């Protein structure tokens, strides 16, 4: 069964550095999402992306964050000038566009550790 893949599985970065988290959604999916989960806390929505643009974003998704679909397969989350509080598990998800009410498929996540 096709699956969403995320790389790397664990990323360690110095505070202030830029980091790019990568996701390869399922090939015929058109909606893409990023979520984060700080250790011991609930999952939080960051952003949704459709038709090469952001369709929704949360308050967390400020100017520090950006998303891109640089080619036909990758979907990336960039965090500029990382902060300690950016340490979390970041999940990518994708879903088909039709028929309606398609479930999301999640990647296994990237654990981001900011030192």
Partner 1 sequence: KNEVEQSPQNLTAQEGEFITINCSYSVGISALHWLQQHPGGGIVSLFMLSSGKKKHGRLIATINIQEKHSSLHITASHPRDSAVYICAASTGNQFYFGTGTSLTVIP
Whole-number Å distance between alpha carbons of 8 and 102: 27
Binding of partner 1 at residue 91 (CB under 8 A)? Answer: yes
What residues from 32 to 61 belong to the interface with partner 1 (CB under 8 A)?
A: 33, 35, 37, 41-45, 48, 50, 55-56, 58
- As a dihedral over the C-alpha atoms of residue 22, residue 89, residue 38, residue 57, rounded to 10 degrees, the angle is 30
Binding of partner 1 at residue 90 (CB under 8 A)? Answer: no
Binding of partner 1 at residue 89 (CB under 8 A)? Answer: yes
Whole-number Å distance between alpha carbons of 19 and 78: 6
41 Cβ partners below 8 Å, 6+ apart? none
Task: State the burial class of residue 64 (Cβ atoms within 10 Å of its Cβ: 0-12, 13-18, 19+).
Answer: middle
Residue 22 CB, nearest approach to partner 1 (Å): 17
Residue 111 CB, nearest approach to partner 1 (Å): 8
Binding of partner 1 at residue 97 (CB under 8 A)? Answer: no
Interface characters, 4-33, with partner 1 (x: CB under 8 A): ---------------------------x-x
Which positions lie near partner 1, rule CB under 8 A? 31, 33, 35, 37, 41-45, 48, 50, 55-56, 58, 89, 91, 93, 101-106, 108-109, 111
């Amino acid at each position: 069964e096709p699956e969403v893949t995320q790389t790397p599985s664990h990323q360690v970065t110095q505070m202030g550095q830029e980091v790019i988290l990568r996701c390869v959604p399922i090939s015929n999916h058109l909606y893409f999402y990023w979520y984060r989960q700080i250790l011991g806390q609930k999952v939080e929505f960051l952003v949704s992306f459709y038709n090469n643009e952001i369709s929704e974003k949360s308050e967390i998704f400020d100017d520090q964050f950006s998303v891109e679909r640089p080619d036909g397969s990758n979907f990336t989350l960039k965090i500029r000038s990382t902060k300690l509080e950016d340490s979390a598990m970041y999940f990518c998800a994708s879903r088909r566009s039709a028929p309606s009410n398609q479930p999301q498929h999640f990647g296994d996540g990237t654990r981001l550790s900011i030192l």
